[in-house]
Amino acid sequence: MSFSGKIKDELEHTYAPARHCMLAEMAAIYDHCRKASEEEDRKIVIASENELTVRKFFTLLGKTFNMYKDYPAQTVSFIKKGSGYRLVIDDPGEAEKVRSAITVTARDLRSCCARAYIRGAFLAAGSVSDPEKSYHLEIVCQEMRQAHFLAELLSGFEIEAKTVLRKKNYVLYVKEGTKIVETLNVMGAHVALMDFENMRILKEMRNSVNRKVNCETANIGKTVNAAQRQIEDIKILMESDRFNELSPALQEMARLRVKHPEATLKELGEFCTPVLGKSGVNHRLRKLSEMAVEE
């Protein structure tokens, strides 16, 4: 099961205790999954490729309106058309009662209801990429007003969401890992939140280790290249008459560098008699290279 699938499976079984919050969640599912046509104007038709979404709406109907309360969602045979699932309230009176109750605006929603609405919208049209690969949460909206409405609700929890037009849809998205965690918390997906955090921590640890390894590898490479250049310069001097004219300290450093090509400046200094610091070693090696250039 994908990471998004695990989140939606958890959200299907997450219910707010208050009726007004359940209505808010129904409102989100209705807004993102309703089917409207001239033949269905007086009906409510909820259609989705995700059975969990339709099943959640069905269960909420039972909890808020006592509709279908004698039929558990698991036993109901939803109408399946192609890869989609549908739930139909074909009684005009019942449809109008439900429609009137779930009509909301941002001003109508308390903080708890806003959480429920965001949960319903994600269940209906949301997804989260695998956190091991990237950080990306999105909710696909058919209309711009839906994206703006969700962005307004999320901003109430200090979560900044952006919108992009993708083909004919308006996609609301959050890309920062911390903000995705906060969004999961708002929706009540606490198990998924912990899974996301664990994967995020492991990913950041791996990245940190890789950065350190790459840095150390680069430093080793620089040290080896520098040592190789120094040895080449020293060999030029050794092959000339000037080597015997060098001071004993420079001759000692030249021989030590050739003998210990992989040694660091600190290690070369420890081989010297008396022991020499890194700056002293670097000064002598630079002097040797300058004299080699003169040859």
For 31-43, the DSSP string reads HHHB---GGGTTS
How does DSSP assign 259-292, residue by residue?
H-TT--HHHHHHHSSS---HHHHHHHHHHHHHHH
Note whether residue 127 is domain-resident. Answer: yes
Residues 17 and 83 in one domain: yes
pTM for the structure as a whole: 0.71
For residue 231, what are the domain limits? 209-294
Residues 140 and 219 in one domain: no
Residues 172 and 218 in one domain: no
Structure tokens of 257?
Answer: 């560098």
What confidence category does residue 73 fall into, taking pLDDT thresholds of 50, 70 and 90? Answer: low
Is there a contact between 175 and 132 (Cβ–Cβ < 8 Å)?
no
Residues 25 and 162 in one domain: yes
What does each C-alpha distance from 86 to 33, 44, 78, 241 come to in angstroms?
9, 10, 6, 95
Total count of domains within the chain: 2
Condensed to tens digits (0 to 9), the pLDDT of residues 113-166 reads 999 999 999 999 999 998 888 899 999 999 999 999 999 999 999 999 999 999
**Spatial distance between the Cα atoms of 46 and 88, rounded to a whole number of angstroms:** 6
Residues 160 and 279 in one domain: no
Note whether residue 195 is domain-resident. Answer: no
Q: Which of 134, 155, 188 is at the close of a domain?
A: 188
Structure tokens of 83?
Answer: 């890869």
Question: Which spans in 66-187 are helix H?
Answer: 92-101, 111-125, 144-155, 177-187
Structure tokens of 183?
Answer: 């969004």
Between 282 and 174, where is the model more confident? 174
Residues 288 and 257 in one domain: yes
**Spatial distance between the Cα atoms of 18 and 24, rounded to a whole number of angstroms:** 10
Q: Give the DSSP letter of residue 247.
A: -
Residues 10 and 95 in one domain: yes
